[in-house]
Structure 1
Amino acid sequence: METEFLYDWGEEVQVIDTAPIQYAPGHTGAVCGMSEIDGVKVYTVEAGSGESMEIPEEMLRKAD
């Protein structure tokens, strides 16, 4: 069965303010990758600067 993700490629997302510091709360970027690791949905999010990081789905929200 294929994993369903909340966000899609290219969608703008933001790290929630209450996320741990290692996820850069307030960071905004575009989804450029999606995977599931040990049952956790993880997104690769790329900022306009080109920097990217992997962030669990529960630490993200749709950007304004």
Structure 2
Amino acid sequence: MMNQQKECLKTLTDDVFYALGSNSQISLGQGAITYEKSKHRIKIEVDNIINVVSLI
């Protein structure tokens, strides 16, 4: 991955974490990202495909 792509991805990640700090669900493009605080995970939904990221 090129350096510019890595920097863009890092910036996007920072923005998503910042937004999830004040809203438990945000829309991003055609998908949604949900922070499930009680389960310590982030759920990413795009086109009926769900990816789960465990934070612990």
Q: TM-score, normalised by structure 1?
A: 0.28
Q: TM-score, normalised by structure 2?
A: 0.29
Q: Which has the higher helix share?
A: 2
Q: Which has the higher strand share?
A: 1
